[in-house]
Structure 1
Amino acid sequence: MTSFDGALPEQAGRHCQLPLNTLHATVYFSPEIVREMGALGIEDFTAINLASRSAAFGRVGAGPVTAAFYNYKHELIARHVPGVWDLASPEDVLAARLRAVDSTLRRLLGEDAIASAGMAEAAELALRAAEGCSRGGRPLYSAHAGLPVPEAPHLALWHAATLLREHRGDGHVMALVRAGLDPVEALVSHSATGGGMSDKWLTGTRAWTAEELHAGRERLRVRGLLDEAGKLTEAGTALRDELEAETDRLDIAPYEHLGAAGVARLTELGRGFAKAVVAAGAFPADLLGNG
């Protein structure tokens, strides 16, 4: 077990949240969420994604969802929200999502991991970290913070991972706005790092057209952030690095609340679970890339 005392090392919160986010995101690509939401009458892949993540807001319209999600095309969201609530209530969607999480994690991790002491420990640590989150200016975190904590440790861990993900994500949107990156520019500059979605997934899940993605890249070239090949320039790399550093600063509170030793242990446990779900095929092979 790794441990350290005193102040948190640089990027400790980021390194802790990343594997927890991997665990959280498994449900978005699982056949279980398709089955559970299909039973409610929600069969479109985009509608499933939008409903399952925005249901914590309650029966809202497209405007608040577009604002909170930031990088989805508004017309895509308006195509499904608020109409999706005529098919199923937000409460039913949240219940279906939790059932899907349960079956997804059991399939990917196996029953031994689900029942392990490490799972219970990770859940306790992640929930303790989430106590340090703040609601102000963080719509997605705040909405999910109002949901009950599930009793089963693997579901409690997923719930806490969701809180930590949305808390960081809300802060990241603040950093994007401050940096002057619009939704398309945010996406294509992230893809240029090699860690964002490929164009196939940006068009399929965010609804930006190839022309809109190209125009976003052109705007970044004019600003000197991308080169002619669509790669990050030195200035572009510096901007992306500063974005993540600013996000770290805005997201430090839960990890300071947990403490250095707790963060180290949660990171260790989270990485083990994240590695397992990735090895089990939780995500499409062509999800990431800059093309």
Structure 2
Amino acid sequence: MTQTNTDNTAPPLSIVLPARNEADNLPAVLDALRTRFPDAERILVDDGSTDDTAAVARAHGARVVSHPYGMGNGAAIKSGARLARGDLIVFMDADGQHDPADVERLLAKMDEGYDMVVGARNAGSQASVGRLAANTFYNRLASWVTGHKVLDLTSGLRAARADRFRQFLYLLPNGFSYPTTSTMAFFRAGYAVGYLPIRTRPRGGKSHIRPLRDGLRFVLIIFKIGTLYSPLKVFAPASAAFALLGLARYAWTLHFSGTFTNMSALLLMASALTFLMGLISEQISNLMYANTEMRQAPRRREDTEASTEQDR
């Protein structure tokens, strides 16, 4: 991985754009960002492009990070987040879908005390009816797992506090599911997540997302993060299902043959074991996020000390 860095001054804002073969779309996007945010650091992560993406980005004043081959959208996000020097990081697509004017609105929303603000696309911004239906399903499933209203789980336009976001880099997958994982991780850690309605433009060029393959991957990621977020919400329904099947099987065999079969015993044992696995997973999850709380303790002490000094 190679990078270009021409300025050692820490900017207040970093804008990270993952890109793969987006040379045609970059000039308009980067020029618009430079006009609106002249003091911001613009980081273009070239994820193994075979066109002039990196050269075009450099020509338009962006700091360029190049992957030697395509490592995935999530990997590009992680590379950009690690190198970003701003206290706030904005993540947006490089294909022209996102309006730079919405970035200003995201930052204004962040000033209300949020740790992450996500651009929530309206129904007209979905690429197809199938994509709209899939995203609606993802949003409802994630809302159930987290216990919070999730308006857009997969949006690629979001702003986050850099130190908070970097805590969860180890959880982010290298593929297209980084928005899913980061949103649910922020909720689990007790960080404030807000939503801002946006309307996206038709993307330039061809999408790199494959609906069937990446759709199934999104569902798997939701359940994976669900077991990290609140394991009992995943294990308890499975345990209840085994218990109901076992009791139903027992009622059937008791009525017709007056016996308690091995299948009934196996189903009831599976119910008990699944519930116990959920309890253990819940404790492990609590311990994992307790480490996150401990990492935040020094920052809170620093903030308190700074406030005390200002009061004096």
Structure 2 length normalisation: TM-score?
Answer: 0.24
Choose between structure 1 and 2: higher strand proportion.
2
TM-score (norm: length of structure 1): 0.26
When you count helix as a share of all residues, which structure comes out higher?
A: 1
Q: Which has the higher contact order (CA 8 A, sep 6+)?
A: 1
Larger Cα-atom Rg: 2
